[in-house]
Amino acid sequence: MKKLIGIFASVCLILGLSVIPSHDTEAAAKKFKNCTELNKSYKGGVARSSSAKNKGGKTKYKPYVSKELYDANKKLDRDKDYIACER
């Protein structure tokens, strides 16, 4: 009986691990319709890299850094400073 329970537990563990998705298949970055929608989730906007400098001067909030998210919402970066919807 103990051997049967051990085999059953091993099979469940193996099957359970094969169902867990890998981190390589992450979902695509979310595209926002406008800056108002983006700023609800990211108050300071989204920067392409941490070295991006704001052309507009001082901002109130620090932007979230994500290349994938910035690239998905590149159209919202009107001044082309690699920070979309900065505030």
Domain boundaries, the chain: 2-84
Mean pLDDT of the chain: 84
| Average pLDDT value for residue range 75-87 | 95
More confident residue, 32 or 19: 32
pLDDT for 36 equals: 97
Share of the chain above pLDDT 70, in %: 83
Cβ neighbours for 87, distance < 8 A, ≥ 6 positions apart: 39, 43, 44, 45, 59, 60, 61
* Nearest C-alpha neighbor of 79 from the set 61, 57, 56: 56
Structure tokens at 82: 């690699």
Tens digits of per-residue pLDDT, 35-71? Answer: 999 999 999 999 999 999 998 888 899 999 999 999 9
Put the strands of the sheet holding 46-47 in their side by side order: 64-65, 46-47, 83-84
* pTM strictly above 0.85: no
